[in-house]
Amino acid sequence: MTERLESPTANAVKGRFDGQTAIVTGSTRGIGAGIAARLAAEGANVVVSGRTAEAGKAVVDAIEADDAEAVFVEADMREPDDISALAEATAETYGSVDVLVNNAGVQTETPVDEASMDDWAFVLETDFRAYWLAAKAALEYMDEGSIINISSNHAESTMPGLFPYNAVKAGINGMTRAMALDLGPSIRTNTVAPGWIEIERTREELPDGRLEEVESIHPVGRIGTPADVAGVVAFLASDDAAFITGSTLLVDGGRGAVMQDDTLPDYRRLNLE
């Protein structure tokens, strides 16, 4: 079983982003908060954003407690004016934007034939349109740098009743390719597609005993943590990934390699034998 990374800053590369500024949308909790903490630990000035000031300030406080730099800017990613203001506030505070992580997202549990226009607008405006608008706004203050769009393994294979979330995630991967071609060579754009990640929502969705079952069908023997995603984002944003753009990196503990669950052993038990 691979080591479980609880702290997003555990393997931080000190100084990797010194002098750079990163915006992380939807970073008041979960994966976004982990990404913000990791980039800050590696030296970036991080702008935490979201709709809840109290939660955002708590993330900033935690970052500052580790002697790193962050500020919170309240922004609703469904509001174009808020998106523009987020980029502007970042530039006013730190002078420029070097890294944009589009992470804010929502989902509805609706099948194709039952989804409403409100469901459609709710997901597309937050998970899709906002990624494009955030990139446009940030580009006004970017001479070079990196955009990383957080998608999902649902872009490739999915489950019933998650429309239009699953469709939008596939769209994000396509958007990344378009951005890579149109914004290169100065701006690299890539997608990170997480699989099962243990965050508050995941724990709520999994009844007693189900978490262990889900872990058992991952070839690494566990589900992911925000730290697992944050490390990949930091890599893609760094010069170590200077020759990577237009790509989607699946971060799913091997689930994408599985064709049929009932053919699998229990990977957790194999680790103990």
Peptide bond into 8 cis (omega under 30): no
* Residue 90, pLDDT score: 98
pLDDT above 80 (res 264)? no
Share of the chain above pLDDT 90, in %: 80
Q: Match 């724990």 to its residue by tokens.
A: 203
Q: How far apart are CA 55 and CA 220, in angstroms?
A: 32
Q: Match 């980029």 to its residue by tokens.
A: 87
Pairing type for strands 99-102 and 69-74 reads unpaired
Mean predicted lDDT score pLDDT of the chain? 93
Window from 67-76, 103-112, 136-145 with minimum mean pLDDT: 103-112
Cβ neighbours of residue 32 closer than 8 Å, sequence gap 6 or more: 24, 25, 26, 50, 101, 103, 104, 150
pLDDT above 90 (res 272)? no
Share of the chain above pLDDT 70, in %: 95
| Mean pLDDT on 155-161 | 90
Window from 69-73, 182-186, 196-200, 253-257 with minimum mean pLDDT: 196-200
pLDDT above 60 (res 241)? yes
Q: How far apart are CA 148 and CA 247, in angstroms?
A: 10
Beta bridge partners of 73: 49
CATH 3.40.50.720 fits 21-206+223-260, yes or no: yes
pTM of the entire structure?
Answer: 0.92
* Residue 5, pLDDT score: 63
Read off the pLDDT band of 164 (50, 70, 90): very high
Cβ neighbours of residue 220 closer than 8 Å, sequence gap 6 or more: 1, 2, 253, 254, 267
* Residue 165, pLDDT score: 96
User: For the packed helices 30-41 and 53-65, what is the interaxial angle rounded to 10 degrees?
Assistant: 30
Catalytic residue among 94, 131, 141, 165: 165
Is residue 165 annotated as part of the catalytic site, yes or no?
yes
